[in-house]
Amino acid sequence: MRPFGFAAPLVIAAAMALSAQAATPEIAVTIDAAKPGPVINRNILGQFAEHLGRGVYEGVWVGPDSKIPNTRGVRNDVVTALKALKIPNVRWPGGCYADEYHWKKGVGKDRPATINSSWGGVLETNAFGTHEFMDFVDQIGSEAYVSVNVGSGAPQEAADWLEYMTTDQPTELGKLRAANGRDKPYKVAMLGLGNEAWGCGGSMTAAEYVHEMRRFSNFAKNYNPAQKGGDQKMLKIAVGPDRDDYAWTETVMQAWSKKVWSWDIDGVSLHSYTWPKTSEQATGFDEAKYASLLKTTLWMEELVSKHAAIMDKYDPEKKVGLFVDEWGTWFKVEDGAPGSSLYQQSTQRDALVAALNLNIFARHADRVKGANVAQMVNVLQAMVLTQGEKMLLTPTYHVFRMYTPFQDARFVPMTYDAGTYKAGDVSLPRLDAIAAVGKDGKLWLSLTNLDPNQPLRIDAAVAGYVAAGAKGETLSADQMGSFNTFEAPTRVTPKPIAVKASGKSAVLELPPHSVTVIGLAPAK
Instruction: Judge residue 18's burial from the number of C-beta atoms within 10 Å of its C-beta, 0-12 exposed, 13-18 middle, 19 or more buried.
Output: middle
Task: List phi, psi (to 5°) of 28.
Answer: -90, 130
417 contact partners, CB below 8 Å, separation of at least 6: 27, 28
When CB distances to ligand AHR are compared, the closest residue is 95
Residues 373-392 that bind ligand AHR (CB under 6 A): 374-375, 380
469 contact partners, CB below 8 Å, separation of at least 6: 6, 8, 9, 10, 12, 501, 520, 521
Of 50 and 160, the one with the shorter C-beta distance to ligand AHR is 50
Q: Interface with ligand AHR includes 196 (CB under 6 A)?
A: yes
Q: Interface with ligand AHR includes 409 (CB under 6 A)?
A: no
Of 342 and 517, the one with the shorter C-beta distance to ligand AHR is 342
Please pick, from the candidates 53, 59, 93, 94, the single residue that binds ligand AHR as defined by CB under 6 A. 94
Contact between 303 and 296 under an 8 Å Cβ cutoff? The reply is: no
Q: Interface with ligand AHR includes 96 (CB under 6 A)?
A: yes
Find the distance separating the first CA and the last CA of the chain, reported in whole Å. 22
Of 193 and 437, the one with the shorter C-beta distance to ligand AHR is 193
- Smallest gap from residue 493 Cβ to ligand AHR (A): 27
- Contact range with ligand AHR by CB under 6 A, out of 90-98, 184-192, 214-222, 413-421: 90-98
CB atoms within 10 A of CB 289: 18
Q: Interface with ligand AHR includes 270 (CB under 6 A)?
A: no
Q: Interface with ligand AHR includes 432 (CB under 6 A)?
A: no
Of 280 and 315, the one with the shorter C-beta distance to ligand AHR is 280
Please pick, from the candidates 195, 249, 448, 514, the single residue that binds ligand AHR as defined by CB under 6 A. 195
CA distance 403 to 495: 15
Number of residues that bind ligand AHR (CB under 6 A): 10
Contact between 445 and 432 under an 8 Å Cβ cutoff? The reply is: no
Q: Interface with ligand AHR includes 501 (CB under 6 A)?
A: no
- Smallest gap from residue 195 Cβ to ligand AHR (A): 5
Q: Could you say which DSSP state residue 86 is in?
A: T
Please pick, from the candidates 59, 88, 93, 95, the single residue that binds ligand AHR as defined by CB under 6 A. 95
Check the CA dihedral 222-224-228-231 and report its sign.
Answer: negative
3-state secondary structure of 400: helix
Amino acid letter, residue 429: P
Residues 346-375 that bind ligand AHR (CB under 6 A): 374-375
**Catalytic sites, residue numbers:** 196, 326
Check the CA dihedral 473-477-480-482 and report its sign.
Answer: negative
Q: What is the CA radius of gyration of the chain?
A: 23
Please pick, from the candidates 58, 100, 132, 326, the single residue that binds ligand AHR as defined by CB under 6 A. 326
The residues that touch ligand AHR, with contacts defined as CB under 6 A, are: 50, 94-96, 195-196, 326, 374-375, 380
